[in-house]
Structures are given as C-alpha cells and as structure tokens.
C-alpha cells in the first residue's frame, strides 16, 4: 500500500493508496539497504538448514525455521518471503515503484479499481527486459560494507555478542556455495544473520506473509548496521539499544542477558555493533 503518489495521480484527486475494506492488520516497513544481497543469494540451502532448529531440540529457547517458498528457502524481505534477487527486484519495480515489466505487465490497481484515465501515459512494459536485468545485476554485485576497526573493546564486544546468545540468530558468517561468478563462489559473508524465521513476540507482531506468522521475522542482517539511523522492520527504534530491548519471543533470554550486562560489557558490545 503506497502512501505517496505521482503528481498526475495527485491531480486526479488520489493522494495515497487506501487500505482495502475489511483489513484485519497493518504492518509498516522501512526500506532495507541492499548491500551484500548477491552473496546472501549465493548461500547454499544446506548452509542455512545447518542453523535451523524448528523444534528447539537443543532447548536453548531458539527455534529458527526456514521460510520455504515455491522456489526454495526465502532470504529476502523482512519475513524472508522471497528466495531470489530476480523476483525481489522484479516485484520491487512493480509494487514499490509501479513500473511494469515483461514479467509483471499489469499496472497496479487502486483498491481494486483501475487507474483513472490519463495518469499513466507511458506504454507498458515501462522497463525493458534489458534494463530490468541490469538492475538485478547491479544489486547482485553491491558488495557488503567492509567492517571498521573498533579496537580491543570491539573485540571484547564480539565475545559478549556470542556469550549472551545474539549470535544464535545473528550468525556471524555464512559460506556461499560454488558459483559461476568467482567473486561469489565459496566466500564467507559476514552478514550476522541465519536467514531463518524467529518468533519475536507479541509486541513486534504484525501481519502474515507467505508462510511466516504475524510474530515471525527473518533475522535482520547486521552488516552495515553502522549506516542505519532507525531500526527494526518498521523503524520503531531510534537507537541500537532500543532495538535490542524490543527483542521478545525467542530472543527474550538473550535480551534479558543484555539488560543484565555490566556497564563495561554493554559498552563493549555497542562498540562492536558500531563496527558492522
């Protein structure tokens, strides 16, 4: 549901996309960054499944499960609802930008109604297959942001991160599979995610998406965290500490251990997070 429109739509009296009648839930989303997504796509499914523990057999309170889609394990989207970059980017062109392509040739409707006459003069498809493909490749090759050095305190903070269980979901590194592109083949990607769905508790809960339940979210990658200014799927946290305090559900134990950290260990942990 878009809350901003083109000038021509505004002239036609439409200022935002209305919610359809009878909605039962609303979920707000901030825009994710895209760095390193090509590498996340190249991670093998068996590598993701290695961290899954849907029935919590190891009794650590954390039971990540893969989001199975028709095309394999979902990796992209806050609920891991999309498994590959081609679909993710093709969907973004039509659903976020309203730009039709060969794969998504139909213009979007507004609350089920076609667009009013005259607001969409461009012939469909609005983006050529070649440009769509180029935009997918562009995202595929965006490198993950490199880490910065944070000194001894950051090194100690990384240890705290593991000790209190953050790394059980924010798995520091995943390895990519063999890949025809050498830069993507058998690389370690320090993404700080397991790409699995976790129950994050009632407070964060919003909508279903694919197989994901309202309270389930895919572990947000922490690579590039230092460039973010708002956190969590809807941007409700404005500091990293707030974001951690908002963890519930399977992350409750880890969050509580964070809250009990000494002042020194807490600042080491935050120092570490600022290097990502």
35: tokens are 């760095």
Angle 159-34-29 (CA atoms, 0-180°, nearest 5)? 90
C-alpha R_g of the chain: 20
User: Is the separation of the CB atoms in 221 and 192 below 8 Å?
Assistant: yes
User: Is the separation of the CB atoms in 233 and 205 below 8 Å?
Assistant: no
220 belongs to the binding site for ligand HEC (CB under 6 A): yes
Q: Which of these ranges, 6-14, 123-131, 135-143, 168-176, lies near ligand HEC under the rule CB under 6 A? A: 168-176
In whole angstroms, what is the distance from residue 220 CA to residue 80 CA? Answer: 10
CB of 115: closest distance to ligand HEC in angstroms? 32
Of the pair 136, 169, the CB lying nearest ligand HEC is at 169
Of the pair 127, 240, the CB lying nearest ligand HEC is at 240
Q: Which of these ranges, 1-9, 119-127, 132-140, 224-232, lies near ligand HEC under the rule CB under 6 A? A: 224-232
The mark string for 14-53 relative to ligand HEC (x by CB under 6 A, - otherwise) is ----------------------------------------
User: Is the separation of the CB atoms in 38 and 176 below 8 Å?
Assistant: no
Q: Which of these ranges, 1-9, 17-25, 120-128, 254-262, lies near ligand HEC under the rule CB under 6 A? A: 254-262
**Burial class of 269 by CB neighbour count within 10 A (0 to 12, 13 to 18, 19+):** buried
The mark string for 170-209 relative to ligand HEC (x by CB under 6 A, - otherwise) is x---------------------------x-x---x-----
Interior/surface letters 240-253, b for 16+ CB within 10 angstroms, e for the rest: bbebbebbbbbbee
CB of 228: closest distance to ligand HEC in angstroms? 5
Catalog residues that contact ligand HEC under the rule CB under 6 A: 62, 78, 164-166, 168-170, 198, 200, 204, 217, 219-220, 225, 228, 231-233, 240, 243-244, 247, 250-251, 254-255, 258
């Amino acid at each position: 549901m878009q809350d901003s429109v083109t000038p021509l739509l505004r002239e036609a009296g439409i200022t935002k996309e209305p919610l359809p009648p009878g909605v039962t839930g609303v979920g707000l989303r901030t825009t994710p960054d895209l760095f390193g997504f090509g590498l996340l796509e190249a991670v093998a499914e068996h590598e993701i499944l290695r961290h899954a523990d849907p029935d919590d057999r190891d009794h650590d309170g954390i039971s990540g499960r893969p989001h199975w889609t028709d095309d394999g394990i979902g990796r992209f989207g806050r609920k891991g609802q999309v498994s590959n970059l081609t679909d993710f980017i093709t969907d973004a062109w039509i659903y976020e930008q309203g730009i039709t392509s060969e794969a998504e040739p139909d213009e979007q409707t507004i609350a089920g109604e076609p667009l009013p006459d005259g607001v969409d003069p461009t012939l469909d498809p609005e983006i050529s297959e070649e440009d769509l493909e180029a935009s997918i490749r562009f995202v595929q090759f965006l490198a993950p942001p490199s880490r910065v050095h944070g000194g001894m305190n950051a090194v100690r903070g990384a240890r705290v991160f593991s000790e209190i269980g953050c790394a059980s979901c924010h798995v520091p590194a995943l390895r990519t599979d063999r890949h025809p592109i050498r830069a993507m083949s058998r690389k370690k990607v320090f993404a700080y995610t397991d790409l699995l769905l976790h129950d994050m508790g009632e407070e964060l809960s919003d909508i279903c998406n694919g197989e994901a339940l309202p309270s389930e979210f895919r572990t947000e990658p922490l690579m590039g965290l230092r460039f973010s200014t708002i956190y969590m799927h809807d941007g409700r946290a404005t500091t990293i500490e707030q974001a951690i305090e908002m963890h519930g559900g399977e992350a409750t134990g880890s969050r509580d251990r964070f809250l009990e950290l000494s002042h020194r260990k807490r600042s080491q942990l935050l120092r570490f997070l600022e290097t990502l």
